Amino acid sequence: MTTVCIVRHGETDWNALKKFQGREDIELKERGKEQAAAAAEYLSKSSWDVIISSPLKRASMTAHIIRSRIGLTNINTCNSFIERDFGKASGLTLQQQREVFPDGIIPGKEDDYVLQDRIIKGLDMILQKYCGKNIILVSHGAVINSLIKAVSNNSIDIGETKIKNTCINIIKNIQGQWNIVEFN
């Protein structure tokens, strides 16, 4: 059995302002560091073999805080779990996005299917490389939304549900099938 604990990064200034961050490389604010420390404390009660992170600063900083508390020496960076590219909507709030792009077509925004495909390939890589291990994966809200939707065979469509900063999501692969154990 392979267990993946998916953690959303800690809070940034843009999270607090409810702006789409996308690939913008924004650091954690002090509250985000505190959230990461709280997640680390919770995760320290279990045994972990590997920590994987998106390369963006907010995820990487969260992973470093968790790593230092749970005693792992390395963080593996994986581009498969980088945040969705929100294109021209990056830096906008949802309300601003609706005003600027009333037709819902956002130039440069990563397609749902492209996003889900890259995440599934990332999960396949994790399963091949770390089969039977307990893994912490630090990523982003849109990635986690898409991952949960994919793992549930589209039966859980999170939609407007907010994936909270440093929330814990656990999936397990048992005999080739991913199952959601904990969500948000």
- Catalytic entry in 27, 30, 83, 110: 83
Active site residue 9: yes
Element (H, E) at 2: strand 2-8
Q: Output the CA angle 21-119-126, nearest 5 degrees.
A: 125
Contact 48, 135 (CB under 8 A): yes
Q: How many angstroms separate the CA atoms of 179 and 123, rounded?
A: 13
User: Is 99 a residue of the active site?
Assistant: no
162-167: long-range contacts, CB 8 A cutoff, minimum separation 24: 163/8, 164/8, 165/8, 165/9, 165/10, 165/11, 165/15, 165/32, 165/35, 166/7, 166/8, 166/9, 166/10, 166/11, 166/32, 166/35, 166/36, 166/38, 166/39, 166/62, 167/7, 167/8
The type of residue at 131 is C
Q: Which residues are catalytic?
A: 9, 83
